[in-house]
Amino acid sequence: MHFSISLEDGTVAETTRDDNEPLEFVMGDGTMIQGLELALYGLKAGDKQTLTIEPDLAFGYHDPDNVHSMSRDEFPQDMQLAKGVIIEFNTPAGDEVPGTIREIGEGAVKVDFNHPLAGHEITFDVEILSVESPS
């Protein structure tokens, strides 16, 4: 399928159309968030659909408890930190999670671990190219 995710102001946050590389995935494999998968049920090859999806079914709401102050010492010395930069962090369980730099102070860095699209109503525009049984 080809898809685009746009924000309230029309900014395209993600698309497969720019590089003409459609997304291939298996329903329920965790590639797509639940709200986006729900929008796909029942669609077949050739179908197009545009939906507005509220934050609770998209990327969730912004949770202030997911914003943490970290010591500058926790970052590599040569890492260039800038407000708005998204960095991958490893959890104690070994999972990778993105964190957005929100503030840089003398000895501390404020990192937002909410999904970058949390709190946004999104427009999901999709074109189904083919539907196949999983192998």
> Residue 52: what pLDDT?
93
Quick check: is 133 in a domain?
no
pLDDT digits over 75-91, tens only?
998 988 999 999 999 88
- Report CA dihedral (11, 51, 18, 118) to the nearest 10 degrees: 50
Quick check: is 135 in a domain?
no
Is 74 found in the same domain as 41? no
CATH number of the domain enclosing 87: 2.40.10.330
What is 46-65 written as a DSSP string? T-EEEEEE-TTTTT----GG
At residue 35 the predicted structure's pLDDT band, cuts being 50, 70 and 90, is confident
What is 24-37 written as a DSSP string? ---TTSSSS-HHHH
pLDDT digits over 2-11, tens only?
999 999 999 9
120, 58 contact by CB (below 8 A): yes
CB atoms within 10 A of CB 5: 20
Is the pLDDT score of 39 beyond 90?
A: no
Give dist(CA 37, CA 15) in Å, integer. 16
Which pTM does this prediction carry? Answer: 0.76
Give dist(CA 26, CA 72) in Å, integer. 40
Is 121 found in the same domain as 87? no
Give dist(CA 122, CA 118) in Å, integer. 10
Quick check: is 134 in a domain?
no
DSSP state letter for 72: G
At residue 20 the predicted structure's pLDDT band, cuts being 50, 70 and 90, is confident
Quick check: is 91 in a domain?
yes
